[in-house]
């Protein structure tokens, strides 16, 4: 989980740029007629997101050809994004490219392991078509996170909302909440779970669990950890085979400290922490 700075593009600038790509006069007029309505939706989104209350926005269950606002159908609202922001060669594509490039090292903010390959609608456009080009709702994400359960699921209360990288990433990284257990298997197995500080509100404590679940992060982190464990094992066999177990522990603590300085809730930090705390692993379970 990583935070990203909120995009600074104003709604009207984004909307007008998309409009430059609309060729059909009637469709363009229909879009222009709802400009103010969509601006209002974008403004409401910003207020609710800052309060952690996006779940309060009512999902739209209409069919694709149903009119949603003015003379514009659900399909046409979604088309604002796919036809005039994503489509190559359209003026609105500059917004898409800018958002895609906003994640440092192309790292997906939801998981912190995948490479950004798409924009994810935090509130999915299938259910929230009026928000399809609201930049605050567009998160650069990896394919796995974009295709995860969050892709179609809609939060029904505050505690089931995944963490929003633009609004909440910093707050949820203020303390460690990601931990793991070391199972005494051969090779060792790392199992991830959320255990947020008791000082957090009940809603926030549940939300980190919802975040893990939404993106299937426990399983994906375990997979990453298995690869990392093979490197640790090789290092111990090559350089620490005849060392006392406390030297192996010190090595793991060093790795954990370095990871902690970068990100308190990275899967690596939690893994090194758990390994260094495992007497079994340091005594020889690494083999």
- Binding-site ranges for Zn ion (CB under 5 A): 108, 110-111, 114, 142, 145
Beta carbon of residue 192, minimum distance to Zn ion (angstroms, whole number): 15
We find the least distance from the C-beta atom of residue 74 to Zn ion, in angstroms, to be: 27
Buried b (16+ CB within 10 A) or exposed e, 61-92: eeeeeeebbbebbbebbbbbbebbbeeeebeb
Nearer of residues 111 and 274 to Zn ion, judged by Cβ: 111
CB of 274 to Zn ion, least distance (A): 22
Cβ 29 to Zn ion shortest distance, Å: 39
Say which residue the tokens 């090559």 belong to: 238
The CA distance from 248 to 286, in Å, is: 10
| Residue 145: CB minimum distance to Zn ion, A | 3
- Helix or strand or coil: residue 176? coil
* Closer by beta carbon to Zn ion, 142 or else 212: 142
User: Closest approach of Cβ 107 to Zn ion, in Å?
Assistant: 8
The secondary structure of 128-172 as a DSSP string is: -GGGTT-GGGEEEE-HHHHHSGGGT----SGGGPPPPTTTTTTGG
CB 96 within 8 A of CB 89: no
Q: Name the 3-class secondary structure at 71.
A: coil
Closest CB to Zn ion among 17 and 142?
Answer: 142
**Which runs of consecutive H residues, i.e. helices, occur in the chain?**
11-19, 25-33, 35-50, 74-84, 93-100, 143-147, 202-214, 217-239, 245-262, 267-277, 279-280
In the bound state with Zn ion, the residue whose beta carbon lies nearer, of 2 and 206, is 2
| 87 versus 107: smaller Cβ distance to Zn ion | 107
Nearer to Zn ion, 143 or 205 (CB): 143
- Give the whole-angstrom CA distance, residue 13 versus residue 11: 5
């Amino acid at each position: 989980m990583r935070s990203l700075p909120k995009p600074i593009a104003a709604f009207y600038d984004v909307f007008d740029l998309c409009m430059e790509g609309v060729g059909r006069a009637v469709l363009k007029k229909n879009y222009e007629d709802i400009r103010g309505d969509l601006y209002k939706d974008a403004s409401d989104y910003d207020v609710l997101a800052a309060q952690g209350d996006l779940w309060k926005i009512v999902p739209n269950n209409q069919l694709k050809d149903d009119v949603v606002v003015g003379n514009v159908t659900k399909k046409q609202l979604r088309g604002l994004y796919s036809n005039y922001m994503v489509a190559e060669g359209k003026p609105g594509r500059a917004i898409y490219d800018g958002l895609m490039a906003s994640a440092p090292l192309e790292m997906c903010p939801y998981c912190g392991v995948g490479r950004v390959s798409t924009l994810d609608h935090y509130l999915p456009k299938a259910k929230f078509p009026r928000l399809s080009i609201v930049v605050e709702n567009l998160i650069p994400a990896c394919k796995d996170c974009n295709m995860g359960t969050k892709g179609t699921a809609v939060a029904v209360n505050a505690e089931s909302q995944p963490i929003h990288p633009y609004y909440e990433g910093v707050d949820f990284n203020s303390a460690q909440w990601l931990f793991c257990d070391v199972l005494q298997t051969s090779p060792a197995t790392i199992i991830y779970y959320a255990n947020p500080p008791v000082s957090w509100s009940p809603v926030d404590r549940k939300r980190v669990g919802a975040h893990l679940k939404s993106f299937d992060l426990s399983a994906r982190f375990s997979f990453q950890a298995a690869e990392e464990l093979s490197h640790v094992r090789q290092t111990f066999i090559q350089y620490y085979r005849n060392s006392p177990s406390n030297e192996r522990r010190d090595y793991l603590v060093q790795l954990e400290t370095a990871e902690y300085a970068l990100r308190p809730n990275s899967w690596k930090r939690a893994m090194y922490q758990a390994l260094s705390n495992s007497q079994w692993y340091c005594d020889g379970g690494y083999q």
